[in-house]
Amino acid sequence: MLKATFKKYSLQFKLPSGTSRGILKTKETYFLILKDKGKIGIGECGLFRGLSIDDRPDYEEKLQWVCSNIDLGEQELYDVLVEFPSIQIGLETAFKSLVAENPFEVFPSEFSSGEQSIPINGLVWMGNQDFMKQQISEKLTQGFSCIKMKIGAIDFKTEIELLKSIRKEYSTSDIELRVDANGAFSPSEALEKLKYLSDLQLHSIEQPIRQGQWQEMARLCEDTPLPIALDEELIGIFSEEKKEEMLNTINPQYIILKPSLVGGFRGSDSWISIAKKKGVDWWITSALESNIGLNAIAQYTFTKKSTLPQGLGTGSLFINNIPSPLEVFNGTLHYNTNLKWNFEMMNIE
């Protein structure tokens, strides 16, 4: 008989990590565990406080309801959970894990067999100039050719100087630079700031202004000298009609999919299908999940065959992540089949 339980887990950052929303020291997440006839399935519900649309007081109550009604089956539960995208992906992953030959191989491919890897960007967290320079140096040593920098937390002039110093040392053929403003610019100043940034030959900027300002973002995308990628803009848009309306209105150069925030794999498939019709390119980004969620998202990402570097985390930010076969090798995410999963620390009976 199919049984479901959930477990809360608090991920501890090795170093406090700066974003435009403040400093992160811990990140809570939830594991959904299914058991049936001696088999186990596990999925991660990667709630992101302050960002997820399902950051609600009744979150654990909803998870308990899912566990009590697991016999409704994956599809029916998924449809009911439309306002809980992080539970949707946990549900999708747990059911795939339950029926898989290997519970951690939810999208079997040349990636999960260790034969191929996924090019990813190296993420540089916000901080003072020396700290950011040190991170950039480390990423280059690790073989990254695409670096993404969070901007918008320290003053803009300092950030421009830092980017200039990188460009002085490394040309566009050495490094592709992406920046993520997390909505830090005001609509009145955004275009001028984008002009400064475009002089530095950047690949793109994510979410220059706060989400929900469709007309202002549309004007920016029309006039921008630098390609704009929508990120937070996608959060909380559930219906196909609304997705089409948003993309038709704003007409961005790129969209960025965080499966834990946009309805899991089905939700991501829906966005990709609509974006393709409009000629809008995309890439996929993790959202500080543990290695359980990152593994599922990475395996899914590989099946989509994008040629762009993806924004997949490396699992190395946390002291107490679940030991896994995921490794970063020469600027790519790799699945090392010689390494084993170890979830003793999760205390799953």
Q: Which of the residues are catalytic?
A: 150, 258
Strand order in the sheet with 204-206: 122-124, 146-150, 176-180, 204-206, 228-230, 254-257, 281-284
C-alpha to C-alpha distance for 188 and 79, rounded to whole angstroms: 40
3 state SS of 6 = strand
C-alpha to C-alpha distance for 111 and 118, rounded to whole angstroms: 8
Contact 335, 325 (CB under 8 A): yes
C-alpha to C-alpha distance for 196 and 161, rounded to whole angstroms: 11
- Which phi and psi angles does 181 have, rounded to 5°? -90, -10
Task: Give residues with Cβ within 8 angstroms of 7, minimum separation 6.
Answer: 30, 31, 33, 346, 347, 348
Fill in the DSSP letter of residue 198.
H
The secondary structure of 40-77 as a DSSP string is: EEEEEE---TTTSTT--TTHHHHHHHHHHTGGG-HHHH
